[in-house]
Structure 1
Amino acid sequence: MTPVEPFNKKPLSKRLMLFQFDGGRSDIIYGFQSEPDEPEIGKPRVPLIHDRVKEGKASFGIQYAAVPTESRVDVQNMMGGYQEDMTAILSGWASSHGLEYDRIYNYLKAGFFFGPSIISSIFESQNCPTCIRRDYYEDSEINYYDHVQASTFDKLNYDKLKRLFNGTLAEDSQNKTLYDKVPGDKEKLKEDKLMVYMNWVSCDAIGTGFKPTNKEYRKSIRTTAKFIEEIEQDIINYYNDDGETTFILLADHGIADIGAHGDGHPQNTWTPFIIWGKGIKPADDEADPENPETHDDFSKKWGLTMKKRFDIDQSQLPSLISSILGLPVPMNNEGVLPLELLDATEVYKANVLLQNAYQLQTQYSRVQELVQEKQKWFFTEHQHSPKKVLNSLNELKKQVEQIAQKSDDGKSATKEQNEALKEIISNTYVEIKNIRSGISYLKLYQKTFLQIAVALGYISFMLLCFAVVFRYVNTSQDKEDAIVEQNNPPFKKNFSLILTLCFSLFVLFYLNVTQSKPVYYAYFGFPIYFLYQFYKHRQFMNEGWGNSIFKIIGNYAFIGLAGQCLVYSFFQREFISYNFLAISLFSLIHSKYSLGQITGNVIRWSLACVLISIFPLLPPIQGVSDINYIFGFACISVTTFYISFYHFKEQLETSVKVMTLIILYCGGISLYLRTVNSASVPTFIYGINWTILFSLVGSLIFLNLHKNSDPQLRLYSLVVIMINLSLLFGISYDTLFTLIFSFLLKTWVDHEKEVSVLIQDKQRIHPIHFYTAFKFILIMNISFFGIQDLVSLGSFNYESVTRFLVNLKEILTLTLMIFKLAFPFLCGASAFIIVCKSAHKKISTVGLFMLSIIFAEISTINFFFMVRTEGTWQEKGSSVARFVISSMLTLLYVFLFFIAHLLLKNTKFDEKFKN
């Protein structure tokens, strides 16, 4: 695309200085010193902000960050106005190189960048590589668990900036860089269209390592605030207070209370934004500071209610900077200029907004070209086509030019002319709205088309699962052969096959004409194949249900209702508790009326359901709790030592007894590591922890080599491994949850074996089978949602991996987190196989597992239709996260079911379990 050159002859300001608190929380940066560790109670943490606002020089408010809230993604948005969508999480959003896009630095005459390497590539200029100088340090050098070392990077920035602006030639033994001797620096500082970007990283580093509620985080903000205040004065002095400088202070993202960022939580997305200097309109006064119109409960605590708050979206920053410095708006920019912040004539405002509109229209035209190239015969334009919008903009531009000629570029505009310009501005906003609507229409052009295809894929797969299960479970060999032969007539008489082939050819033709992506062929190919196979197997389902219409309706109703119960657990963890409490009550009633008495196994199972239901009612784990951890550690130690050395003292293998003893080390070392600075921990401690981790994993293979092992003992050995892992990774009541979860698995196996007596003489799918499959998925869900709300990326607490890592490494950290989450799934899958092979022998293990997958797919297809393309980033991100997590869980179920099957293949299921 071709950049749209500025319409105004002279920019508002010559230069712009941008201070960025990397990982700065708005409530803490705007707030007052109020903690005992702070030196000046009652005074602002960042006095510069309060001074500029109260002096009537600045506008301020919230800048809403993009999701995922990571430095490169957010800075890309601030410099280019382009937001990578949530799928960037899966394509390296934390890497130093993102998508190729246009940005502010391509149009500057001169520029500087100071900060970490992970975002330094954003500040390159393809148009003029020598115009921009980047001075960065490697992000890998930052130790997120050493607040002193992390703070040195802000001091390093400070020293470099002092040299740049105050001209000292004193050599620093720790830093040999002398900016006065770098060729061209002083010349760059004299240029107009200059931008200096200063990234202060200590907030991000310390907030991640020590949490933003820690005194070290508050101290880093106060220290950096003093640096910024001095640098601002140095800049003013350097330019002899010529009044041609604009200042912006903001943050790229925040930090959640648990020390993580990445999701759409307000703690991560509501970042501070303050702007003052040349070309900026100061905040207006509030009519009633006691009841301010523009402040809510969040901002009333800042002590700035005498001035109006003005919020912007992060993507609006590039168009704002362009309008101030007189630059082309980056071509990929999606943001709309916040015109209210500019102190300029109405002609200037109308021109910069029109420039923004033309830039968006150019993008709109290009997007339509790309879509139209593929759609060809089938394309339908949006009602506000690019051509119509362009004609409207041209007319508005002519009107502005006429007024500008008559009023000396608006300097001597009359009241009527200013009113006309305001009307033009209003109409320009309407056209921008039409452009954005058109772009959205084009980006979602095939949305309904693809939704239907993908939904058919899920539905047809579930139907095929039903039919295949019934085929291999409920029919005799003679009946099966007869149905198969009936559904395989000669090709000329096989109308279903001919119809399927004809429809497939039409789909292939359409996808080829529209130049669809290769994955689109799969979207349509799978449902066509699944539906055809289901049609061939449809009669097996009739056999399976016993040809009773009421029975069919009843079973389908149960499946649908149970599936929806699982869906709600992704929105409210408490719903899992309600499901378990209902199961507990139902089990008691069912035992009384079906078995004639309430047995001990039923009582234990109901008790386990009640105990496990407590955890989703508790708040998700947000941080370390020594009391909860110690209580869980004590309960685990007493219980496992009793079972290993008393209850199973003869039958238990020596390796499992050794793993029981390791529990003492795992709990003790975890308590030790949380009380000391990770930098001071001897390296061999981490080596021991890694050795134990690999030994526990290796024991899975070792145990599987033992022939004829009792399944109950095999399950117990897996539970002991899970308990050791929970102690190593645990930070709060998650250790106690693991113990109750283990009790739940044991009682479930015993309960299913007892209930299965009611259907042992039936060679059909029974509602109890669906009930068992539902309980399996519910158990897997609580292992995932029992202690944390993991729909949000920010809910991952990295504190649990510090038993293995001094510095957090992205890939290794993620691997450890996934391993921690997956092991309870493996124990649940193992218990499910034991249930299938010991209790429900009339139905194959794979068949019962496929029934459980149907429940999981019901959730997935629900979340697929709930994916949002509009609304806040938190709403959109959460909707995508639910769909992705549900899809990934289904794949994880299949993988772990296969692993559990291998682990239990040598067990003897003919012997009775010991109760």
Structure 2
Amino acid sequence: MNMITFFIVGLVVHIVFFVSIFDIYFTSPLVHGMTPQHVPLPPPAKRLVLFVADGLRADSLFRPDVNGTIRAPYVRSIMEEKGTWGVSHTRVPTESRPGHVALIAGFYEDVSAVAKGWKENPVEFDSVFNESKHTWCWGSPDILPMFAKGASGDHVYTHTYSAENQDFASTDASKLDTWVFDEVKAFFSSARRNETLLSRLHEDQVVLFLHLLGIDTNGHAHRPMSKEYLENIAYVDAGVEEIVSMIEDFFENDGKTAYVFTSDHGMTNWGSHGAGHPSETLTPLVVWGAGVQTAQKVTAQDFEDQLLQEWNLEHLRRVDVSQADIAPLMSSLIGVPIPLNSVGALPLHYLDNSEHFKAESMYANSIQILEQFKVKMAQKKETTLSFLFTPYKLLTESRQLDFVRKARSLIQQGKYDEAIRLCKAMIAQALQGLSYYHTYDRFFLGASVVVGFVGWTSYVVLVILKTHASLRKPHSHRDPVSARSLWRVFVCAALTIIAFLLVQASPWTYYIYCLLPVPVWYSVFKEFGTLADLMNSAPSLPLSKCFGYFVLVILGIELLVISFFYRAMLTVGLVVLSGWPVVSQLYTQAKGVSLSWALGCLFLATFPLMPVVGREPNVHLVTCAGSLTLLTSASFLWLSRRRTPLQWRDCQLCITQMVHVALCAYVLNSTHSSLKVKQGLPIVNQIISWTTLASSFVVPLLSSTRLFQRLLSISLSLVSTYLLLSTGYEALFPPVLCWLMFVWINIEQEAMHTQGISNKLGLSSFDFAENIDITKIRQLKLDDIRRSYFFVFFIITAFFGTGNIASINSFDPASVYCFLTVFNPFVMGALMMWKVLIPFVIVMCAFEAIQVSTRLSSRSLFLIVLVISDLMALHFFFLVKDYGSWLDIGTSISHYVIVMSMTIFLMLLSIMSHVLTSKRVHVGWRRKTHFT
């Protein structure tokens, strides 16, 4: 198998392994075909008004300021007198779309749905809006359309402003809320003159939804503790009061309007959201109006935290809910069926109604969830052989019938409390049953993926031993009969698997996961001769040294795995690596390079100890990063000049790039200064930023392909872009990483010299563009395992050096302010992804240089890297959780996805790094002048 074929096959295999995690853990929990459940009693309200203050934290609303002044006096008065309040507990990811889906549809949107689209509605799901007779919505174009497109019929009407209005550099983001309030006022004003609209508004089961984005935008731009954020809360409070007064006046105080005020997610102190910090997951909930329990005075609470005292609310009963519980609450208030896909449980403490009504509502809630369970069970039963099907024992068909009969009987007998307790227990069991059937095939699919994974890794190891290791290979004859028998065995296995999946009517993706191990293991067994060669060569191998390397690599992999949970382990690893020259005795032969290596490792070791989230922007550190880049670049330029003469054009290009780095540092300072005084993003700065990003892919191709000159040009180009995407200390990371990578290249050359296989001319003689004589490419040595591990370690350090899972989820828009300030999730996400990849590219280019300078084929070291990465991925596959908190489950899955993505990215980035290092674009004149 040639390299291109191997690369394509490897890429396909890893993509299959990567996608498998979505079929195993990220499949949509939604089912269809359920019957809507109606409550036979009249509802207390004819209409519902839903206020969602996007990005509003619970403590920001409830806590008085330092002077004891209440920020939201109107909402506070509702809590004190007219309504019931509590905290709504959200789930991660704490983003606007999943939060609104939980609020209005009653289920927690799975990652597969989010990945299919942001502004559109990628999956069909029911919602309170869909079940209503008429719904009018005002607010963001990112949220409203998905509920309109998911509704059946034409009864959800949306009014949105332009996406350009969501500008983080706006002088006053509360104008987004002003737009909503003004549009609602104009709507009711026009309704008085429009008989059709007036008639619709006076019908039953009407919903009015006001999406208020100003608080979220101000939080991103100025932080939640800022004057802008807190003043926006007061402005929303006044707006809500005005809208409520207007609605009550419009409907002549008929007492048939229910109001819900809440938030989709909170926000961290540093202005981001997406992860599971309490400031992101604790949101306010205040409900009042028709059918809602009025404020209840209490002397003791069930909550023992200090928040009630800080909020001065220990005298009012607090009723907490899960965010998905709000959908059944809204449905119950206006008498519409609970959304079919809802997993929320009706919070009865919010209702002010008869016990009969509460019991009927809980009964409808339990039947609605039970209907989902029945559909899920039927689907799984139809696609599983009868003798293999194992039903959920706590909720068999007979127990379902018993529950329905008993619950209905208790309600008819007037034993409402018992009926409610029974329904709550039923809801809990049905939700567990839904999870059981949703994960029914998880073990089967997981086992198939693991078998394929182990087979692939074994095959790669055999390829390394066969083609790149110096084994004693005795002449052997392959038995054609055995080869044909092996082929027949695996063909029979494949046919058996296909027949089994056909009988069960399995999805087409199951065929891929289950059949992939067949050709993989066939390839492994075909290379049985390589194992025999290894056994024959064993007496001549340094077994103790091999065992030592094996143990060290396993320990090293474990360290990298632990670093995903504790970034400080990278610091431990870098400190250990700093002492490598002493252990390997390189220090005695190359003291200067060894000292630089130790210092580089120790400086880089400080970054994993830094906070990844919760920091305030510090553009002065970015300026320092620019200065450090210029200093180190000048040093390497001087050293390179001493090693080999530079053409004037290359020197001119390098100096130009250094000036450009200084310009980028100035642009960042200028941009943040302009935004601070609310003058917006200067157009010149924006042009320079986008030009820098575009040119970063091209400018390195203009430089010399000699090793140090090309690497210096790549580093300057990437660092200049990174500076524009930085807000604090993380800007120092690429310059330090570049320094260590340059030293790594040098110290590996010294290590080769100690083995007597170093190039006599040194690194200055290497040119990325030159074709290496294949006769000079050496076989793999045990020390190459260490080089490959170093590469994987630096790749993980490049990823986690300044961030972790929480920091990636907690996106900070300030990082992209040099490029744009108008909210655009796709462009912003792409810019942040490139920021994450820049350190990867730096390490990849250094690894390319090491492969060239150590006279190894590009395939050799990368195969070892592939094995190490796959062992990590397999490790994380076993660490995936399907129990515990949603955050724990999501984080464990994220680790696997990251490692698999890293492996795929490395395969693609290896091509990119090869182009960046070895290709050159000749533009204009060529001058032979040398700079010496």
Same topology, TM > 0.5: yes
Matched-pair contact (CA < 8 Å) for 2:113–2:123:
no
- Offset of 1:113 from its aligned partner? 1.8
Counterpart of 1:78 in structure 2 is 103
Whole-angstrom distance in 2 between the partners of 1:887 and 1:282: 53
Give the Cα–Cα distance (whole angstroms) in 2 for the partners of residues 424 and 766 of structure 1: 73
- Which shows bigger deviation, 255-264 or 365-374? 255-264
CA distance in 2, matches of 1:428, 1:89: 32
Aligned to 2:518, which of 507, 511, 528? 528
Cα 1:208–1:493 shift into 2, 3 Å: closer
User: In 1, distance between residues paired with 2:363 and 2:381?
Assistant: 26
Tell me the CA shift for residue 163 of structure 1. 4.6
TM-score by length of 1: 0.88
Q: Cα 1:140–1:596, aligned 2, differ >3 Å: closer, same or farther?
A: closer
Corresponding letter in the other structure for 1:864: F
Residue deviations 1:789-832 (CA, integer Å, cap 9, x gap): 24554333332222222424222222222222222212211211
1:436 positional shift: 1.4
Change (3 A) 1:808 1:163: closer
| Mean Cα deviation higher: 898-907 or 682-691 | 898-907
Deviation at 1:893, TM superposition (A): 1.1
Residue identity matched to 1:447 = R
Q: 1:638 is matched with which residue? A: 631
Distance 1:603 1:153, change over 3 A: closer
1:235 and 2:260 are equivalent in the alignment: no
Give the Å deviation of 1:451: 0.8
| Aligned residue among 391, 408, 421 for 1:398 | 408
**CA drift at 1:153:** 2.7
Aligned mates of 1:345, 1:192 — CA distance in 2 = 20
Q: Say if 2:848 is the partner of 1:833.
A: yes
Paired residue for 1:799? 814
Mapped to 2, the partners of 1:852 and 1:128 lie a distance apart of 52
Question: 1:413-461 CA distances to partner (integer Å, 9 max, x unpaired)?
Answer: xxxxxxx432222222222222112211111111000111112222222
Aligned length: 856
Q: Tell me the distance in 1 between the aligned counterparts of 2:401 and 2:431.
A: 16
Kindly tell me: are residues 733 and 247 of structure 1, through their superposed partners in 2, closer, same or farther at Cα, counting changes over 3 Å? same
- Cα gap change, 1:395 to 1:806, in 2 (>3 Å): closer
**Partners of 2:851 and 2:861 within 8 A in 1:** yes
Residue 25 of structure 1 deviates from its aligned partner by 1.8
Q: How far did 1:184 drift?
A: 2.5
Of 325, 345, 350, which aligns to 1:316?
325
Secondary structure in 2 aligned to 1:111?
Answer: strand
Aligned equivalents of 1:760 and 1:516: distance in 2?
59
Q: Deviations over 1:465-489 (max 9, x none)?
A: 111111112246x827x35x43xx3
1:557 to 551, 561, 585: 551
Aligned partner letter, 1:878 = T
| Cα pair 2:629 2:716 within 8 Å, conserved | no
Task: Supply the AA of the counterpart residue of 2:658.
Answer: T
How far off is 1:625 after superposition?
0.3
State the distance in 1 between where 2:151 and 2:598 align.
70
- Counterparts of 1:116 and 1:556, CA distance in 2: 56
Is 2:126–2:150's contact at 8 Å kept on the other side of the alignment?
no
Do the aligned residues in 2 keep the contact of 1:52 with 1:58 (CA within 8 Å)? Answer: yes
User: Is structure 2 residue 790 aligned with structure 1 residue 775?
Assistant: yes
Query: 1:651 is matched with which residue?
Result: 646
1:547 aligned to 2:560? Answer: no
Find the residue that maps to 1:276 and give its secondary structure. Answer: strand
Write the letter of the residue equivalent to 1:100: E
Alpha-carbon distance change, 805 to 557 in structure 1, aligned in 2, over 3 angstroms: same
What are structure 1's unaligned runs of at least 5 residues? 35-40, 168-177, 405-419, 908-915
Higher relative contact order (CA 8 A, sep 6+): 2
TM-score, length basis structure 2:
0.86
| Paired residues for 1:238-317 under 5 Å | 238-282=250-294, 284-288=296-300, 292-317=301-326
Q: Residue 201 of structure 2 aligns to which amino acid in structure 1?
A: L
State the one-letter code of the partner of 1:119. Answer: I
Written as runs of structure 1 = structure 2, the 5 A alignment for 1:835-874 is 835-839=850-854, 841=855, 843-874=856-887
Cα distance in 2 for partners of 1:131, 1:86 equals 28
Post-superposition CA distance 1:537-564 (Å, at most 9, x none): 2453565585267666544433322211
Which one of 738, 741, 746 corresponds to residue 737 of structure 2?
Answer: 741
Q: Determine which of 722, 743, 754 is the counterpart of 2:750.
A: 754
CA offset at residue 388 of structure 1? 2.7
| Counterpart-to-counterpart distance in 2, 1:134 and 1:461 | 52
Q: Which amino acid aligns with 2:717?
A: I
Establish whether residue 713 from structure 1 lines up as the match of residue 692 from structure 2.
Answer: no
Q: Which residue identity does 2:390 align to in structure 1? A: T
Query: Could you report, residue by residue, the CA deviation over 1:87-114 in whole angstroms, capped at 9, with x for unpaired residues?
Result: 334222x213232111112332343222
8 Å CA contact 2:450–2:874 kept in 1: the answer is yes
Amino acid at match of 1:219: E
Q: Does 1:98 align with 2:122?
A: yes
Q: Which residue of 1 aligns with 2:567?
A: 573
What's the CA shift for 1:760? 5.5
Q: Please tell me the residue identity of whatever aligns with 2:494.
A: S
Aligned residue identity for 2:302? E
Equivalent residue runs for 1:112-131 within 5 Å: 112-124=136-148, 129=153, 131=155
What is the identity, as a one-letter code, of the residue corresponding to 1:547?
A
Alignment of 1:162-181 (within 5 A): 162-163=185-186, 167=189, 178-181=190-193
Distance 1:660 1:121, change over 3 A: closer
- Check the 8 A contact 2:94/2:280 in 1, yes or no: yes
1:741–1:629 Cα change, 3 Å = same
Contact 2:46 2:257 in 1 (8 A): yes
1:223-280 C-alpha deviation (Å, 9 max, x unpaired): 1111112222333344444433322110112233343333433333221111123322
Range with bigger deviation, 272-281 or 215-224: 272-281
Closer, same or farther: CA 556–538 of 1 in aligned 2, 3 Å:
farther
Partner of 1:30: 62
8 A Cα contact 2:457 2:870, kept in partner = yes
Which of residues 159, 166, 169 is equivalent to 1:135? 159
Q: Which digits, 9 at most, give the CA deviation of each residue in 1:548-595, with x for residues without a partner?
A: 676665444333222111111111211111111111124323227xx7
SS at match of 1:275: strand
Matches within 5 A, 1:416-565: 420-475=415-470, 479=473, 482=475, 485-486=477-478, 489-491=479-481, 494-540=484-530, 543=533, 546-547=537-538, 554-565=548-559
CA–CA distance in 2 between the matches of 1:127 and 1:831? 53
Q: Which residue is equivalent to 2:26?
A: none
Structure 2 unaligned regions, length at least 5:
1-32, 758-776, 921-932
Pair 793,95 (structure 1): closer, same or farther in 2 beyond 3 Å: farther
C-alpha change, 1:106 and 1:682, in structure 2 (3 Å) is closer
Tell me which amino acid in the other structure corresponds to 1:327. Answer: V
Structure 1 pair 813–117 and aligned structure 2 pair: CA distance change class (3 A)? closer
How many angstroms apart in 2 are the aligned matches of 1:138 and 1:725?
30
Q: CA deviation at 1:896?
A: 1.4
Residue in structure 1 matched with residue 381 of structure 2 by the alignment: 372
Equivalent in the alignment of 1:212: 224
Q: Alpha carbons of 1:902 and 1:357: their partners in 2 closer, same or farther (altered >3 Å)?
A: same
C-alpha contact (below 8 Å) 1:364/1:386 kept by paired residues = no
Counterpart Cα distance in 1 of 2:624 and 2:482: 73
Q: State the SS of the aligned residue for 1:364.
A: helix
Q: Which moved more, 1:525-534 or 1:638-647?
A: 638-647
Aligned-residue offset at 1:902 = 3.5
Cα distance in 2 for partners of 1:253, 1:201 equals 12
Q: Mean Cα displacement is larger for which, 828-837 or 517-526?
A: 517-526
Q: Is the 8 A contact 1:332 1:363 kept in 2?
A: yes
Structure 1 Cα separation of the partners of residues 486 and 155 of structure 2: 68
The CA distance in 1 between the partners of 2:131 and 2:278, in whole Å, is 33
**Which residue number in structure 2 is paired with residue 702 of structure 1?**
702
What is the one-letter code of the residue matched to 1:883? Y
Q: CA RMSD in A?
A: 2.8
Matched residue of 1:675: which SS? helix
Matched, 1:612 2:625: no
Counterpart mapping for 1:18-57 below 5 A: 18-34=50-66, 41-55=67-81, 57=82
Tell me, yes or no, if the aligned pair for 2:84 and 2:286 is still in contact at 8 Å.
yes
Task: Identify if the C-alpha distance between structure 1 residues 5 and 533 changes in structure 2 by more than 3 Å, giving closer, same or farther.
Answer: closer
